[in-house]
A and B are shown apart, each in its own frame.
Chain A
Amino acid sequence: MSKRIEVRDLNVYYSKFLAVEGVTLEIEPRSVTAFIGPSGCGKSTFLRTLNRMHEVIPGARVEGEVLIDGNNLYDPDVDPVLVRRQVGMVFQRPNPFPTMSIRENVIAGVKLNNSKISKSDADDLVERSLRGANLWNEVKDRLDRPGSGLSGGQQQRLCIARAIAVSPEVILMDEPCSALDPISTLAIEDLIEELKQQYTIVIVTHNMQQASRVSDKTAFFNIAGTGKPGKLIEYDETTTIFSNPSVQATEDYVSGRFG
């Protein structure tokens, strides 16, 4: 079900500006990997290259390879649309479609692709996905209400349900809790723990406690100064990163001495 991600020598550009330089790492299937680092170090930019969302921004380019189970995402004849169906994404701010009900939001990925789906299959999918996102019990009575009427944390779980409804292999999360209150954050963290059983999860976070709570491995990104490219400094088991990092900059960062 879930897949292994290998990144080799990846450079990421915005037009002429080199945003991330020379990243090489491997992400194991069915694990949670956290990207941490100061603002502007390119961790979100890097995350977006993993499902080719990066190229949505005009002028964006990459060099190097991203392999998912050995297939390079950036091969010329790869369809980014198909990539994104395998690698789902959850964004910083919850973004349910305002014109759709909760139910429609969940099956949006299927419906928007013009696929035919029978009513009972759709009902199944909605229930499965919402249960998967720990949201079913809260919304089962109001599936036809607009998704934008939910609380922030519920909206974010709805977005996760929407992402898992297209049955991806990998889920990317770009600071999924930064717009949420602590209780909602806890709910999402619990959910990540469960999702790990089935999916490969990559999460960008500013919150180091969160990284240490939810992730198996942690990658620390840093930036030498404004206008310089972001780099992968250290990538290791989360416990190692937080207790016994091998690079001084990592230790400074995780112990709160800078950034």
Chain B
Amino acid sequence: MTVTSTPPETGRRPAAAPIANSLTAGRLPKGASWTILGSVLVVSAVLFGAIALTTGEFNWVGAIVVGAVLYVPAIWLFSSIVEGRRRAKDRLVTALVTGAFLLAMIPLISVTITVLSLGLARFDADFFTMSMRNVTGEGGGALHAIIGTLLMTGTAAIISIPIGLMTSIYLVEYGRGKIARGIRFLVDVMTGIPSIVAGLFAYALFAIFFGPGVRLGIAGAVALAVLMIPVVVRSSEEMLRLVPNELREASLALGVPKWLTIVKVVLPTSIAGITTGIMLAIARVIGETAPLLIAAGFTQSMNYNMFEGRMQSLPVFVYTQYANQGNPAEAYLDRAWAGALTLILIVMALNLIARLVARYFAPKFGR
């Protein structure tokens, strides 16, 4: 391993080295990539330090980003000198691929930090116990929005779970030939409906019965159901297909009718997976803003009636607080961020519970 000392020497040493070392020849020393990363960061910091002398402010985010970007050509350069073209390219790709992952982490971390730091300002008791009725400026809360979100998402779930589940049962247990293929295709089409189009549909539907300009909680629920049904169908279908055919046959061979086989054997076996899918579907629609903005509108007051008057929801609350800032603007923005934090916590909780259900309640097949 004498070759793996410092780069400049490798050019001369191989001649004297034992033959066995031909297998290890021309490699960058172990910590080299970290050393290079450190050096380019220092270079970048010096660069930004020079800029800071003129502007008076050190941009540490810029320094890290520029440093990371500089690392890519640097590692390629050193590696191609020492290790040759092919390894250099390999290292280049490794750097790029790792960089892609780190790049994706930036928005995730940034969103988390921002929502936490700005959202906690109004994450208080008032926020969860008061509506915005007669509130201008500071104070007020999102109770009306939380209630609205629960009502509308709940109704959407009540509409879409039976339809979605029965459709997936049809596709897996009964569907053959053209009809099943057609339905499966339409489910795929429905998956692609933009959420705002679902909102327009719900609006158009209810405008026929209630006249133009209608905004109702139930319309919002219908819009969400349109978005939720295909997700439920897809995930349930996948789960039902995982149930081994032998279980169905075992039940049928006992003289159990097909529908009881489905209800008592197939569904209990896949219920954990189906529950997970449904919770993820709820998590997905609970954050929808656009369809509710169109179909259910927004309001400052409590509304428990799905069939009368506008209904606020948490995502729309966040949007309206931001979009219609009053005086002081700070109070409105604080409420928007607190709403965002609440929303993210709800979605995260749903995701987490869904995954726990999948992990702990799935039946163990004995093979």
Residues of A within 8 A of B (CB): 51, 53, 56, 58, 81-86, 88-89, 91, 93-99, 108-109, 111-114, 146-150, 155, 159, 162-163, 166
Contact = CB atoms under 8 A, between A and B. Distances in A.
Select the residue from B260, B269, B366 with max chain A CB neighbours within 10 A: B366
Contacts of B261: 112
Contact of B251 (A83, A94, A108, A146): A108
Given A51-B253, A53-B252, A81-B257, A58 B364 contact: no
Most buried by B among A99, A146, A149: A99
Given A98-B366, A112-B265, A149-B366, A91 B250 contact: yes
A85 to B, nearest CB: 3
B178 interface: no
A97 B256 contact: no
20 contacts: A53-B249, A82-B255, A84-B254, A84-B255, A85-B255, A88-B254, A89-B253, A94-B366, A97-B265, A99-B269, A109-B254, A109-B256, A112-B251, A112-B256, A113-B257, A148-B365, A149-B366, A150-B366, A162-B254, A163-B253
Given A85-B255, A112-B261, A114-B260, A95 B363 contact: no
B244 interface: yes
For the complex of A and B, the 5 pairs showing the least CB-CB separation, nearest first, are: A85-B255, A148-B366, A109-B254, A89-B253, A98-B363
A51 B268 CA distance: 26
A84 B256 CA distance: 8
Given A84-B252, A108-B251, A91 B260 contact: no
A95 B246 contact: yes
B120 to A, nearest CB: 44
Query: Which residue of B249, B250, B268, B364 has the most chain A CB atoms within 10 A of its CB atom?
Result: B250
Nearest to A109: B254
B176 interface: yes
A219 to B, nearest CB: 21
B175 to A, nearest CB: 10
Contacts of B363: 98-99, 146, 148
Contact of B249 (A91, A147, A148): A91
A28 to B, nearest CB: 22
Contacts of A53: 249, 252-253
A159 B250 contact: yes
Contacts of A114: 260
Centre residue among B253, B256, B363 by max chain A CB count within 10 A: B253
B264 interface: yes
Contact of A95 (B247, B255, B268): B247
B176 A58 contact: yes
Decide if the interface of chain B is mainly helix, strand, loop or mixed: helix
Nearest to A51: B253
A222 B38 CA distance: 75
A56 B365 CA distance: 22
B367 interface: yes
Contacts of A111: 264
A149 B260 CA distance: 25
Given A97-B269, A98-B269, A84 B253 contact: yes
Contacts of B249: 53, 56, 89, 91, 95
A200 B246 CA distance: 23
Given A97-B247, A162-B250, A166-B255, 5 more contacts: A58-B176, A81-B255, A81-B256, A113-B260, A148-B364
A97 B250 contact: yes
B255 A109 contact: yes
A166 B255 CA distance: 8
Interface string B231-263: 000000000000010111111111111001100
A131 to B, nearest CB: 19
A147 B248 CA distance: 16
Contact of B365 (A88, A98, A159): A98
Contacts of A85: 254-255
A96 B254 contact: no
Nearest to B243: A98
A108 B247 CA distance: 12
A159 B251 CA distance: 11
Given A97-B265, A148-B365, A166 B247 contact: no
A97 B251 CA distance: 9
A50 B367 CA distance: 28
Nearest to B254: A109
A148 B247 CA distance: 12
A98 B260 contact: no
Contacts of A81: 255-257
